[in-house]
Amino acid sequence: MNRIFNQLLNVKNTVVEDACIVDSPLRPEPVLEVRVRPRRDMLRCSRCGRKCSGYDRGGGARRWRHQDFGCWRVELVAAMPRVDCPKCGVVVARVPWAEPGSRFTRDFEAECAWLMTVANQKTVGGFPHIAWRTAGDIAHRVAERLGTVMPSPFDGLTAIGVDETGYRKGHTYLTVVVDHERHRVIWAHDGYGKDVFSLFFKALTPEQRASIKAVTGDGARWIDSCVAEHRPNAERVLDGFHIVSWMSDALDKVGKRLWNQARHDGGEDAAKRMRGVRYAVLKNPGDLTDRQEEAFESLRDTDPKGQLYRAWRLRELLRTLLKHPIGQATTELNRWVFLASHSRIPEIVELAKKIRRRRPDILRTIRLGYSNARLEASDNRIKVTIRMAYGFHHVTNLIALVMLRCGGLDIRLPQPAI
């Protein structure tokens, strides 16, 4: 019987001593309790992993949550012997079924981590019956474990993208670096700015830094200065997602100003029409609802000077020229700057100055051909992961979840070891 349990537990170098069902009034449900111990010839230091001789049987038994057997909750129970390590001294021995400091077996953690990559927060918490905060700690351990056995994500980099994403109220940001060629997150760190982004370059070897040919991102000056300091020969590229977002922000400001002006002038009908159109113009034409399409058709007549309509037209021109060949896009960008600077719309005139200043970077974006849809998809997936991680108390757990879901880590369900 113990041999069968040994195979079912799927743990190598472990001896099953006993198994019984414990139904205590102190527990919410019965538990299948399996008493185990490491093989005597497999005692290792929990700090350095060196094989050591035993010191004593330790100070008592400990429990680890394992994968359920059907509807039965399973716990492994073992005495924790101590070993005499020549390097670390007398320490608790490493067990073959769990990581040091964890209260869960490796197979249980792998199952939870896999669930976090394919399911939502409610499913992850309900299926294995763990708190969401505990799931964050598991994600951290699994991501670290997988990262040590996989090839370095910094090898073979040619084009990277950097962006800062808010993950908590109060201007709290996460800096994320993406590998454009392999479409995955390779690095993330709490905070933003030149000092934070410099940590990424410092983590690279000289050969890894030299392989980077292009760096994409928004127009933040800290990105420019950091790239100039650590990789001056790399091409600085503005990704199309942020270029269009500049115009969308300016368009939103135009809508707000015209709406407030209509309210101030006392025209309720005009203010109502302006409010309906204001949100419609921020969407792509193919994503409008029926109600927004009706408001959109009256866009030309919404304000006497047609400022909102002309601003929307400039947004669409900028969005489409990014998809054209470099020769055609150069001509259209020059025409766009001329039209925007002479539009007499304050918000658009101000944006035209920024576009004119960043014109070489925009044309470089078009020439290198980085897909706006690909960048937007990566950005959206990271934001979905950040929303999913709401409730984690430590940013390291959030970063671990981002790496599990977006970092290309080889996370799989546990497989039979025998």
Range of 30's domain? Answer: 1-100
In a domain, 275, yes or no: yes
Let me know if residue 2 belongs to a domain: yes
**What per-residue confidence (pLDDT) applies to 391?**
79
Res 288 pLDDT > 60: no
104 — pLDDT class (breaks 50, 70, 90): very high
Overall number of domains in the chain: 2
Tell which of 42, 70, 100 closes a domain.
100
CA dihedral (23, 2, 49, 98) in degrees, to 10, reads -30
Q: What is the pLDDT of residues 124-135, one digit of tens each?
A: 888 888 888 899
> Is 5 inside any structural domain?
yes
The per-residue pLDDT for range 368-398, each reduced to its tens digit, is 876 545 566 777 888 888 888 887 888 999 9
Token pair 């084009």 in the structure block, residue: 159
At residue 258, does pLDDT exceed 70?
A: yes
347 pLDDT exceeds 60?
A: yes
Task: Identify the sign of the CA torsion 179, 185, 187, 193.
Answer: positive
Last residue of a domain, one of 100, 120, 154: 100
Judge whether residue 287 has pLDDT over 60. Answer: no
Residue 45 is assigned to a structural domain of this protein: yes
> Mean of the pLDDT values across residues 285-299?
58
- Of 329, 353, 368, which closes a domain? 368
Instruction: Summarize the confidence of residues 286-304 as an average pLDDT.
Output: 59
The chain-wide mean pLDDT, for the chain, equals 84
- The model's pLDDT over 206-256, given as tens digits with 9 standing for 90+, comes to 999 999 999 988 888 899 999 999 999 998 888 787 888 888 889 888 888
Where is mean pLDDT largest: 190-204, 299-313, 368-382? 190-204
- Residue 403 pLDDT > 60: yes
Beta strands 159-168 and 89-94: pairing type? unpaired
Can you tell me the distance from the alpha carbon of 44 to that of 37, in angstroms, rounded to the nearest whole number? 13
Tell me, yes or no, whether 270 lies in a domain. yes
| Residue 5, CB-side half-sphere exposure with 13 Å CA sphere | 18
Q: Does some domain include residue 94? A: yes
Residue 162: inside a domain, yes or no? no
In a domain, 41, yes or no: yes
CA distances from 300 to 120, 264, 267, 274 (A): 43, 21, 17, 11
Contacts of 58 (CB under 8 A, 6+ apart): 79, 80, 81, 82, 92, 93
Burial state string for 160-172 with b = 16 or more CB within 10 A and e = fewer than 16: bbbbbbebeeeee
Q: Say what the pTM is.
A: 0.80
pLDDT in tens, 19-75: 888 887 777 788 999 999 888 777 888 888 888 888 887 777 899 999 998 888 999
